[in-house]
Amino acid sequence: MKLTDLGVIKDLFTRHGFSFTKSLGQNFLINPSICPKIAEMGGCDREICSLEIGTGIGVLTKELAIRSKKTVAIEIDRGLEPILAETLAEISNVEVIFADFMEIDLKKLFEEKFKDEEVVVCANLPYYITSPVIMRILEEKLPVKSLTVMVQKEAAERICAKVGTRECGALTVAVNYYSDPKKLFNVTRGSFAPAPNVDSSVIRLDIAKEKKYDVKDEKLFFRVIKSAFSQRRKQMINPLSAELALSKPTLSGIAENSGIKASARAEELSMEDFVQLCNGIYDHFND
């Protein structure tokens, strides 16, 4: 069954009484070249397991499963259950779990489904949960080798921007803290049904096995980044002073001791600058 064929999709929908739910980001891939590319460039391998978020009718799920040792897929919409039962019927190494990815106990899921296995995550993400999904996987420090996701083109550019440039934001720094992001390829809006109003890109985050940066307090680090980028075109000392309840002269002193100009904007700092600054703030509070 060719799951990228519009006739096949319409027939499945009619027979199972299914219709798209826009609010769940249901734009299904109909360009046949994309899913095999995501599975291959996402590092699927018969020795490795894969996890998918958002199956739709199973078009990517199928490509992941035929290239992986085992595939677990999470889908929020139970209305897709009879369709998936049909489209994945001949694939034995796949399991679909109907749940909200944002609510699921990921540690338990990994323990139960992937114990001691290497895992890659691949997904064509609903745009409204792109950042929370990415951050959830990174922050929970799961045994995930890489995360390959389709996101809005603008989000891909932001995530893969170089830290210390105008395009960089809080998400860029957070992603770089845990991984090495890389843009893989662009996908036009016509590759989906229904077609969204924006183009997309597939990115891959190669997750570091060891801690990349020597940050003394991660919670403080993420608080500082969020605050520093909240007024990205202004001197970051202003929002930081309010967020941390530290006077501007005290913060200027900490910044300068860390080798950063007190007048700097968040988008001018490198990863190392952020680390030094946060460790300086940590020392100030703890000395």
Q: State how far the Cα of 282 lies from the Cα of 287, in Å rounded to an integer.
A: 8
- Residue 55, interface with ligand SAM (CB under 6 A)? yes
Q: Which residue in the block uniquely carries the two structure tokens 């998936």?
A: 84
User: Is position 75 an interface residue for ligand SAM (rule: CB under 6 A)?
Assistant: yes
φ and ψ at residue 208, rounded to 5 degrees: -70, 140
What's the closest the beta carbon of residue 202 comes to ligand SAM, in angstroms? 11
Residue 74 near ligand SAM by CB under 6 A: yes
HSE of 161, CA atoms in CB hemisphere, 13 A: 22
Q: Is 35 helix (H, G, I), strand (E, B) or coil?
A: helix
Residue number with the shortest CB distance to ligand SAM?
A: 54
Kindly state the smallest distance separating residue 76's Cβ from ligand SAM, in Å: 4
Draw the binding track, 4-43, toward ligand SAM (x: CB under 6 A; -: no contact).
--------------------xxxxxx--------------
Nearer to ligand SAM, 100 or 218 (CB): 100
CB 200 within 8 Å of CB 189: yes
Instruction: Tell me the two tokens of residue 282.
Output: 């940590």
Q: If binding is defined by CB under 6 A, does position 53 make contact with ligand SAM?
A: yes
Q: Give whichever of 134 and 168 is closer to ligand SAM, judged by the CB atom.
A: 134
Question: Is 198 or 242 the residue whose CB approaches ligand SAM more closely?
Answer: 198
Binding positions for ligand SAM, 113-172, rule CB under 6 A: 124, 126, 129
Q: Starting at the edge strand that comes first in sequence, how are the strands of the sheet with 49-53 ordered?
A: 94-98, 71-75, 49-53, 119-124, 144-152, 200-207, 179-187
What distance separates the 2 farthest-apart alpha carbons in the chain?
69
Residues making contact with ligand SAM (CB under 6 A): 24-29, 53-56, 59-60, 74-77, 100-102, 124, 126, 129
